[in-house]
Amino acid sequence: MDLRLRHRAEVAEQRVETQRIAETKKIKQKQIKNQSHFAGFFDCHGIVHHEIAPDGQTVNAAFYVEVLKRLRDRVRRVRPELWEGRRWILHHDNAPAHSALIVREFLARNSITVLKHPPYSPDLAPCNFFLFPKCKLVLRGLNLGDVTTMKSEMTSLLKGLREAELQGCFQQWKQRWDKCIVSNGEYFEGNHICCILKFVK
């Protein structure tokens, strides 16, 4: 093959590859742009607070502090008996936004007790094993670009959770913790529970 023809073919291939990469980036950016982040807080009696982040909002520590402020105010209104006795406990996983310094300072300043979550243990988070699977079932098949419909469906799901379901969730959570304690915090398979409790004791 002529050297000039080979060079032209290589240039054409590079253009096609560059265009493919650019289109892939656009698709990923569009997917990220269309993502909505959900925060849900519940106890064994019902949903205490939930919100869906505004379009384009990054869930960072500063945003999470604002969510916690709204949660604190909501607990005061809907669980006054827990608020007055300072008997409510917050549990969240170890996501960077949850464990940032400004979040820890806010929680300490407001005397909010936090139940520590062991690292690398997503199966010990009630949202992961109970709430999010229900959300996925509700959202399956929906046009997720339609945020209004998504918010409406999520709100209906949360309002429709029965107290017995939530109590079952907390019972299951206790069983998962017990299983991890019995295994001395070692990883094991079965219910896909993995936990490392050594840092929490």
Q: What is the pTM of this model?
A: 0.70
pLDDT band at 27 (very low <50, low <70, confident <90, very high): very low
Is pLDDT above 50 for 55?
A: yes
Integer angstrom CA distances of residue 180 from 76, 100, 119, 137, 175 = 33, 26, 13, 28, 9
Closest Cα partner for 167 from 117, 126, 137, 116? 126
Q: Locate 121 and state its tokens.
A: 């243990």
Give the Cα separation of 143 and 141 in Å (integer).
7
% of the chain with per-residue pLDDT over 70: 72
Residue 12 CB partners (closer than 8 Å, separation 6+): none
Q: Locate 160 and state its tokens.
A: 């429709």
Top-confidence residue, 68 or 196 = 68
Structurally, what CATH architecture does the domain formed by 38-182 represent?
2-Layer Sandwich (3.30)
Q: Are 172 and 131 in contact (CB under 8 A)?
A: no
Q: Are 64 and 98 in contact (CB under 8 A)?
A: yes
3-state secondary structure of 102: helix
Beta strands 89-91; 113-115: pairing state: parallel
